[in-house]
């Protein structure tokens, strides 16, 4: 179906595109498809609208680049160091286990209530310290959570 009118809401229905175009030409109307998109006459681009769209696209690109830069900077700021020792839980409760050295919620894979665990690496991130345990998981190294005891 096709629709001829000043706008889609007030348009009259036509079975064929030719019939809708004929009515549009005769009465100075537009033709719309079933999705309310103008198909005849072809919409003329508004230079001011085009400029706004270009500016929005440029701003979106800049935001993506900035976010990627922040992620790269955050990754660059993570310092890894080998350690030999034990971490003792001082927090009165369960601590979150993480798959990677990040305090981001997406890294959480469980909880633990260990007394002591062997630590093999220490990661210093912008958000704090994390220890990698001998079983491959990461645990908060914040002073209120654990205490590191060197061998």
Query: What pLDDT, in 10s, does the model give residues 45-60?
Result: 666 767 777 788 777 7
DSSP for 91-151, please give it: SSS-EEEESSS--SGGGEEEEE--SEEEEEEEEEETTEEEEEETTS-EEE--TTTEEEEE-
Check residue 42 and give its pLDDT: 81
Q: How many CA atoms lie within 13 A of 86 on its CB side?
A: 9
Q: Where in the sequence of the chain do the CATH 2.30.30.40 domains occur?
A: 79-150
Superfamily of domain 79-150, CATH level 4: SH3 Domains (2.30.30.40)
Give the rounded percent of residues in the chain with a pLDDT score beyond 90: 65
- Non-local (6+) Cβ contacts of 54 within 8 A are none
Cα torsion at 22, 25, 27, 33 (round to 10°)? 70
Query: DSSP secondary-structure letter at 53?
Result: H
> Given the DSSP bridges, would you call strands 128-133 and 116-125 parallel, antiparallel or unpaired?
antiparallel
Query: What's the pTM value of the predicted model, to 2 decimals?
Result: 0.51
pLDDT at 43 over 90: no
Question: What kind and span of H or E run contains 90?
Answer: none
* pLDDT value at 75 more than 60: no
pLDDT at 88: 96
Distance CA 105, CA 98 (A): 9
Cα 129 from Cα 8, distance rounded (Å): 60
Mean pLDDT check: name the lowest of 8-12, 63-67, 114-118.
63-67
Return d(Cα 57, Cα 21) in angstroms, integer. 34
């Amino acid at each position: 179906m096709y629709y001829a009118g000043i706008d889609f809401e007030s348009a009259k229905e036509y079975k064929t595109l030719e019939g809708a175009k004929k009515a549009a030409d005769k009465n100075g109307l537009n033709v719309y498809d079933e999705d309310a998109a103008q198909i005849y006459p072809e919409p003329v681009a508004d230079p001011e609208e085009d400029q706004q769209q270009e500016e929005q696209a440029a701003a979106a690109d800049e935001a993506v680049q900035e976010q990627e830069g922040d992620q790269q900077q955050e990754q660059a700021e993570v310092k890894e160091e080998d350690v030999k020792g034990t971490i003792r839980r001082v927090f009165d409760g369960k601590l979150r286990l993480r798959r990677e050295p990040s305090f981001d919620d997406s890294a959480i894979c469980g909880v633990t209530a260990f007394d002591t665990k062997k630590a093999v690496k220490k990661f210093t991130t912008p958000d704090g310290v994390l220890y990698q345990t001998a079983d491959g998981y990461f645990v908060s190294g914040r002073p209120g959570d654990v205490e590191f005891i060197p061998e």
